[in-house]
Amino acid sequence: MRKRAVIAVAWANILWWLGATVVSAAPVLVQDGVPRATIVVPEGAGETTRQAAAELARYVKAISGGELPTVAAAQAVAGVCPVRVGVRDGLLAEETEFLQGHAEGVVIRVADDAVVLCGGSERGTLFAVYRFLDQYLGCRWLAPDIEFVPAAVTLAPAVGRTMTAPAFEHRFFVDRANAACLSWGLKVGMNGYYSPDSAPVNGQCFYLPPQLPGCHTYCQVIPPDKYFATHPEWYPLIKEQRVPSRDNVQLCVTAEGLADEFARNIVAIFDGDPNCRITSISPNDGYGWCECERCQKLDRDLCGARTTRQGLAGDRPFMGDRVFWFANEVARRVAVKHPDRLLLVLAYVNYAEPPDTVKPLPNVVPYLCHYAPADYSRAIADPASEANRQFDVLLRKWAVAAPHLLFYSYVSKSMWWRLPRPVQRTFAEDIRYLHSLGIRRYYCQSTLSDWKLDGPLYYVIARLLWDPEANPVAVAEDWTRHMFGAVAPAMNDFYRHVDDSVRRTGKPYSEDPPSQAPGLYSPADIECARAALARAAKSADSAAGLDRIKAVSDTFEYGWQMVLAIEMMQRYRDELDIDAATLVKEHGQKALALCRNSGAARFVESMDLNIELGEFASGFGKAETKGGRTCWNADETGPGDTSAGWATVVIRAADATQPVTVAMDVWGESALDGIVVNTDGERRSYAQGGIWTPVKPEVPLSGQARWETLVFRIPPAAMAPGKRTQTIGLGGGDSQIWVAHIRVGDAPPK
Ligand SMILES: [Zn+2]
């Protein structure tokens, strides 16, 4: 029934065509809103090819109002311009040869009597259709749910040919739950990560198994709820105890039977879904490595139990050999049944460097994170960046040891609190650089929908993964032209000034706004950026355009107010200037009125703690009430977990050669028998080599449920010499300490 209707439309079309006498070098698909061409798909076309044809018809109609019929090849009618979607008959010899070498390759040929849109696979055909709509008909997919579709009642694409294939084999982003993001990804040529249910219509793009949706999977594969009772020995021995935590500890990788069970569970996932071709078998986030004798012997045998070499991960035990040794144990077992499936293994924090002796098996894909060390204000290959220079050393080693690695790029960085993060140019340079090293797999940690913050970043990256030599500035300007129309020049200025603001200061940053945002942006460039936004808003030629400018403007203004708040916080901490504390709140509240961000909100709220507690403090938990007083616990992660709770307080000490008295109102039941004073003045942790001198109170706590005032007399020998402020620390381990107020010197009690 449906087919007959399609043919009827096709005939009506032909009658019109026969009556016309238009002769044109360019094929006419639609004339004055009337269809003049037919979409032709192969006999028995697969779901993805039919989807490609449907998308073509949908956009042609959206542009011109003309509805192109779709027919199978056998029903194609002579005399009507065919738009052949995924039809291999009629390809020229060099086109066939090109597609044979590139499964995702795209051939677009626009001739005066036909249009050919064909891929090396069904997925390639889908990409060919989107490329044609973009390059020949003028559509743009700017962000999830934001597209530019031109209006033209007559469609006559210029004669020409495009043969292209993606430069990167794997082009992954992540926003699986969001249909608009997945749809956007296809249109701009990304091939992972999607979902199993969308695989039939996107040519089997890559997806992670729903059972293991993330990258940190140790305890998802071996969940303690299921196994700890029968196999406690599979979980890490930490301080002589087996720890069954799901999240922040690892596995005892040398335990008998663990690799068998791990591999069995992975095999079962692949058995259950023949289309799933990739999963992660990586450690959990954080540390928590097993300290058992066998695991330690493994480290000694494989890498001499050395510590890390890359600077910013700190001097921790190097775990690269252990992690990839276990990955190989699992991979060898999985390969017996599924040799073609890929097993991702993070190379991250204290296992970011390539292993010393273990060579990852071919089905193990190292998943190298540009995380520690990292400096996002410069490109990886920029010799001016110390952090990136360190990263580059390990990247180059990896590129030799395992060029099939997947590069994990922090395109989105939630820890940066949505502050301006001008990384477009650096990421473009990095993509070119990775390509030159032979790396062909690229993953974006992504918040695709946040175009208000990131602008054309994702769009530029998607383009460069197909063509690393594309000019990122031209691609970005194409994006602003379609996003903002006539005010695009002002918006280009805006993005350029934000970029310049970080470039000019030359400061590095990675992920810690309180320590890295102060001084990172040059205020003069920020003012220029702001002025450019104002110019754009003034000249906006439509309400929709103005809405977009306002969305960018609000996000930017939020970010800048937060930067000012952070800078004031630094002044407060360094000089204990109470006016600065007030300004932290003012800027922070202005920022949070424009945009909510949980990290930023916690930062601003922490000012209440400082003001109430009476001194500059950090690391305390949420406000509580005990014995009728508001107080804060020094173990912000809460009791009963294994995370160390540790709080610090910065106090004024005008003259470090004189003793200072600190009075602290502490709940009597607290586990506090002393404080420590940062004697080297560097505020580094013990793990980072910081020097802290213990100081006992004049009278210890009673252990009773009541408020008591502890008095500490800090001698000059414990203090950092020559500093106007001193840092004291309290807590640690899982100790519970509640503090209501702190007074320094002769300040009156509250
Ligand atoms: Zn162990």
CATH of the domain at 156: 3.30.379.10
Claim to verify: residue 733 and residue 654 sit in the same structural domain: yes
Q: Which residue has the tokens 């249009």?
A: 115
CA-to-CA distance for 563 and 525, rounded, in angstroms? Answer: 14
Residue 157 and residue 26 share a domain: yes
In a domain, 26, yes or no: yes
Q: Which domain-ending residue is among 610, 629, 645?
A: 610
Which residues keep their CB under 5 angstroms from ion ligand 1? 252, 290, 292, 295
Report the distance separating Cα 45 and Cα 84, nearest Å: 12
Does 43 lie in the same domain as 154?
Answer: yes
CB 216 within 8 A of CB 283: yes
In angstroms, the CA 21 to CA 696 distance is 100
Radius of gyration for the chain, computed over Cα atoms and rounded to the nearest angstrom: 31
DSSP state of 722: T
Low-confidence spans in the chain with pLDDT less than 70: 1-24, 310-314, 636-645, 746-750
Q: Residue type for 341, please?
A: R
Boundary residue ending a domain (107, 132, 165)? 165
Of the candidates 404, 366, 358, 410, the residue with the CA atom closest to the CA atom of residue 388: 410
Q: Residue 301 C-alpha to ligand 1 middle, in angstroms?
A: 14
* Contacts for 485-490: CB closer than 8 Å, 24+ residues apart: 485/541, 485/542, 485/545, 486/539, 486/541, 486/545, 487/535, 487/536, 487/539, 487/540, 487/541, 487/545, 487/549, 490/532, 490/533, 490/535, 490/536, 490/539
Structure letter (DSSP) for residue 620: -
Tell me the one-letter amino acid at 478: D
Domain boundary among 165, 186, 216: 165
Placement of tokens 């490609």 in the chain: 52
Do 17 and 130 reside in the same domain of the chain? Answer: yes
CA of 408 to the centre of ligand 1 (A): 28
Q: Which domain holds residue 549?
A: 499-610
Q: Which pLDDT value is given to residue 746?
A: 58
Separation CA 58–CA 557 (nearest Å)? 38
| Residues 6 or more apart whose Cβ sits within 8 Å of residue 577 | 571
321 Cα–ligand 1 center, Å? 14
For residue 157, the CA-to-ligand 1 centroid distance in Å is 65
The answer to whether position 10 is within a domain reads: yes
Give the DSSP per-residue string, 402-413: -TTPEEEE-SS-
Q: What is the largest CA-CA distance in the chain?
A: 105
**Is 232 part of a structural domain of the chain?**
no
Ramachandran category for residue 553: left, alpha or beta (phi over 0 → left; psi -120 to 50 → alpha): alpha
Residue 568 within any structural domain of the chain? yes
Domain count, the chain: 3
End-to-end CA distance of the chain: 85
Ligand 1 centroid distance, CA of 354 (Å): 21
Q: 250: CA distance to ligand 1 center in Å?
A: 9
Residue 357 Cα to ligand 1 midpoint, Å, equals: 19
Residue 489 domain flag: no
Q: Both 638 and 714 in a single domain? A: yes
- Asked whether residue 724 falls in the same domain as residue 666, the answer is yes
Q: Are residues 126 and 154 in the same domain?
A: yes
CA dihedral 577, 583, 588, 593 (to 10 degrees): 160
Alpha carbon distance 229, 407 (integer Å): 37
188, 166 in Cβ contact below 8 A? no
Query: Is 409 inside any structural domain?
Result: no
- The predicted structure's pLDDT at residue 11: 35
Question: Is residue 6 a part of any domain in this protein?
Answer: yes
Q: Are 64 and 33 in contact (CB under 8 A)?
A: yes
Q: Please check whether residue 96 lies inside any domain of the structure.
A: yes
In CATH, what number is assigned to the domain containing residue 683? 2.60.120
Q: Are 660 and 735 part of one and the same domain?
A: yes
For the record, the structure tokens of 434 come out as 């990775």
730 and 622 in a common domain: yes
The burial class, CB within 10 Å (0-12 / 13-18 / 19+), for 544 is exposed
Q: Residue 236, CB half-sphere, CA atoms under 13 Å: how many? A: 19
**In terms of domains, do 570 and 690 share one?**
no
Whether 590 and 672 map to the same domain: the answer is no
Peptide bond before 193: cis, by omega within 30 degrees of 0?
yes
Q: How many whole angstroms from 235 Cα to the centroid of ligand 1? A: 7
606 and 621 in a single domain? The answer is no
